[in-house]
Structure 1
Amino acid sequence: MFSGFIFDVEGTLVDCVPQNLRSLQEALGRFGHQVPYTTLQLYSGLDGDQTLQLVVPEADEGDRKTILKVQGSIYEEKYLQSVRPFEGVRDVFKSLTERGGRIALATDCKGPALKHYLSLLGADEFISATACGDDVDHGKPDARLVGMALRKLGLPASDAVMIGDTPYDAEAALEAGAAAACVLTGGFAAEALVEAGCFAVAEDLQALLPSLEQSKVDPAREAPLTASAAIAQRRSA
């Protein structure tokens, strides 16, 4: 079994992807950018600045920062209180820690949102470390969040698995040297998650638990597509 279990939060532990995407869509609209929800879904979980570079390439760095600030305000004021935890998170955390595993969170969210998520989960006693948006400037697929979580756990990457809900979580995990597994609660198809490098994909965390409790995956497994390559492949299909 793995020794370390690094969990994404948004879309993996708490059900908030639609709210995040709607708040981003509204923020873009305030600045005259009409972007379809389905387009934003392709980049759900990607670093916010990178997302804006892709969907509104005409926006400069200052514009992107302003849009993201407005999006954060909309989300906290209009959507945050509607977020709910996914069922079974505490049970999964308890099972993993009872078997000797250590749990960390790796998420680019921060501030009031992260504090609210942690209160919803009510699982602080199982969490050994947290790497969040207050710690690094770059979100996934940048591997630094995962790397920081590993350092805080004091574990080698080969002993850990990152659990997320997007191809970007998988890419960050693999770049950091950890294994990757995903749930389908973020809106991505199982095929996209497998293409991005996940050794296991399941409907939710409870269904994923048996795969997390098995022996570590073969390090010689086939190299995956990067998240960006997987998206390009799906869009051209």
Structure 2
Amino acid sequence: MADPAGGVERLRTVRAVLFDFDGTLVQQRVDFARMRRRAIEVLQGHGVDTTAIEGLHVLEMVERARRSLAQRDAARAQALADDARRTIEAVECEAAEEARAIAGVPALLRDLRARGVRVGIVTRNCRVAVERVLARQVLAYDVLLTRDDVQHVKPDPRHLGEALRLLGVAGEASAMCGDHPMDVAAGKGVGALTVGVLPEGSDPAPMAAAAPDLIVPSVAALRDPLGLDGAQDEEG
């Protein structure tokens, strides 16, 4: 466990913890390469030259194309956005069918809430896919905000800010935990303690460059830093 900024000591004082979903709380194999290919095909099918935007994340790529097209034809721009949304959701929902909570996660979330710490889930995934997972995997939380629930999606810190507003907790009294550098960036944007999840075998460079306050191999590894006791859920 890497603790370059004294994160362990600070973590025990937080009143809320925000978690990313995919790769942090649940393991699911979203085929992002296929999602990207299909999204690009949709954009090109609507006459968009994707050359200059293919380096963006998929959601940002679609939004950039939508805004550009909307300047000329609002109806076509909406049709593009709808087609792209359906394409992206299809890939996400396919992955959701095989998703499973990561070992130790259900018990940690349950014990956090039992101790009075508020729990939020903030994800770029769509709500229908997340709800399909949660219908099978029991995860305790107070607030869930998918991309469908907010105007501004992380790494925009306003995604986290809305979750904190609903939880009634200030950013400085919270922690943000996720497996992507954008989770760290968003957490810093609201003044939260940031926890990077770096599973064994992952490339450490991107997370190290994001400079979270604390780096752990899994969410379950937060039990001790959070001061939680008790056995973990056998179902993970």
Q: After TM superposition, is the score higher than 0.5?
A: yes
* Code of the aligned partner of 1:50: E
Q: What amino acid is aligned across from residue 21 of structure 1 in structure 2?
A: F
Gaps of 5+ in 2: 1-11, 46-53, 71-76, 229-236
**Match for residue 213 of structure 2?**
199
Max radius of gyration: which structure? 2
Alignment of 1:120 with 2:114, yes or no, is no
Q: Secondary structure at the match of 2:22?
A: coil
Residue 149 (structure 1) shift: 1.0
Measure, in 1, the Cα distance between the counterparts of 2:61 and 2:133. Answer: 23
Q: CA deviation at 1:188?
A: 5.7
How far is the alpha carbon of 1:169 from its aligned partner?
Answer: 0.7
Mapped contact 2:89–2:129 kept (Cα < 8 A): no
Contact 2:96 2:133 in 1 (8 A): no
CA contact (8 A) 2:120 2:143 kept: yes
Task: Select 1:73's aligned residue among 90, 97, 103.
Answer: 90
Q: Which amino acid aligns with 1:175?
A: G
Whether 2:50 is the aligned partner of 1:50: answer no
Q: Which letter does structure 2 place at the counterpart of 1:74?
A: V
Q: CA deviation at 1:163?
A: 0.8
Q: State the number of aligned residues.
A: 198
Q: Percent identity?
A: 23
Q: SS state of the match for residue 137, structure 1?
A: coil
Correspondence for 1:24 among 23, 26, 35: 35
Q: Are 1:98 and 2:114 an aligned pair? A: yes
Matches within 5 A, 1:152-171: 152-171=166-185
RMSD: 3.3
Are the aligned partners of 2:172 and 2:192 in contact in 1 as well (CA < 8 Å)? yes
Displacement of 1:94: 2.5
Q: Which residue identity lines up with residue 150 of structure 2 in the other structure?
A: V
The separation in 2 between residues aligned to 1:208 and 1:155, in whole angstroms, is 20
Contact preservation (8 Å) 1:24, 1:68: no
Residues 23/187 of structure 1: CA separation in 2 closer, same or farther (3 Å cut): farther
Task: Note the alpha carbon deviations across 1:178-231, whole angstroms, 9 max, x for none.
Answer: 1110212598633322321311112211123333449xxxxxxxxxxxxxxxxx
The residue that corresponds to 2:102 in the other structure is: 86
CA deviation after TM superposition for structure 1 residue 68, in Å:
4.1
Structure having greater relative contact order (Cα 8 Å, sep ≥ 6): 2
CA distance in 1, matches of 2:16, 2:122: 12
Query: Take 2:137 and 2:159, find their aligned partners in 1: how far apart are those partners?
Result: 21
Instruction: Find the aligned partners of 2:91 and 2:219 in 1 and give their Cα distance.
Output: 29
**Counterpart Cα distance in 1 of 2:143 and 2:137:** 15
For the residues of structure 2 that align with 1:129 and 1:186, how far apart are their CA atoms?
29
Higher relative helix content? 1
Q: What SS does the aligned partner of 2:121 have?
A: strand
d(CA) in 1 for partners of 2:162, 2:31: 25
Distance 1:186 1:12 in 2: 13
1:6 aligns with 2:14: no
Separation of aligned partners in 1, 2:178 and 2:200: 8
Q: What SS does structure 1 have at the residue aligned with 2:142?
A: strand
8 Å Cα contact 1:201-1:208 kept in structure 2: no
- Measure, in 1, the Cα distance between the counterparts of 2:136 and 2:146: 17
The amino acid that maps onto 1:134 is: D
